Structure 1
Amino acid sequence: MTEEIQKTFDELQLGNTILYPTDTVWGLGCDATNSEAVAKIYQLKNREESKALICLVSDIRMLERYVENIPDVTYDLLEAANRPTTIIYDNPVGIAKNLVAADNTLAIRIPDDKFCQKLIRKFKRPIVSTSANISGQPTPKSFDEISNEIKTNVDYIVNLKDDKKAVKPSTIIQLRSNGEIKIIRS
């Protein structure tokens, strides 16, 4: 795994796109602070830039660097979560502008996955995480279900294919600065 983390880190440093296992499904990713890399993800997925993407951070400390004000309930929600949980926050900072939604929000998850954790800690910046499919197509449940179009057009494929079992996408919750909570996907 150490070798794959280094190779993937090198690709992210170059502004390249990656296909990698996450704590949910196989994802497409890149440096979440690099607008050009984020644009490549939208192009690869054939997705409108008006449809926001998720990014991953390593821990609460990293989350606090990229969100202006984290609602207090966040800590309780994350602690109580029994499956991967993505939270949409108001007023992200230091993130590529084309990753931030039109209403100035950003979906962020702290993954419970050794590879993702080690990679993000080494990279020291958030990484985009969006399902490895063309927009409008079903989310692949395993590496073998990922289309050849994705596999041939991504810059780097992480070589940990046997380590990933099929799982569901994360729960998505929106937390507004005013305290409003909304379940987007359960």
Structure 2
Amino acid sequence: MSVIQVRPATLRDAKAIAEIHVAASQDAYKALLPAAALDAMSVQKRQAFWREAIDLCEPQVIVAHLDNKIMGFAGFDRSRDKGTPATTGEVWALFASPEHWDKGVGLALWDATRDGLQEEGCTKATLWCYLRNERALRFFELAGFKRELGSARTTEVGGSRIEEIRLHRSLV
């Protein structure tokens, strides 16, 4: 029986990461964001972003794979939020290909992300999530994250205003 493996991403993984990012976003956000914004998502632009991230290690990028087929990815690093201590890490992104949802990919990625943040000396992890993204909120809450009261903010995506909230959890 094959087991989901997680490893650091390489530049060769950037296209697969971009394809998963676009497909998962288009599926997960179809009830949240305007269709035009989702349709405008570009694998080419995402690939350029993720190539640069992998090249600069900012954020650190990992991939989950089974028999060398990439099923999902995560990006993590120190928190980008102003005023947070250096011991606060952030999950910048965690996406599984829609065909692999509910198959353990997210958990494998979260476990590796948590380990990576701990190796960097982080004692707390945060992330931002769309408030109406029930699937993601449920996943992260099952992983021990709690909603941070008073952190809700509104951001503009594709001409629509959408609320997001910060979640946090201890890593110790």
Q: TM-score, normalised by structure 2?
A: 0.34
Higher RCO (CA 8 Å, separation ≥ 6 residues): 1
Structure (1/2) with the larger strand percentage: 2
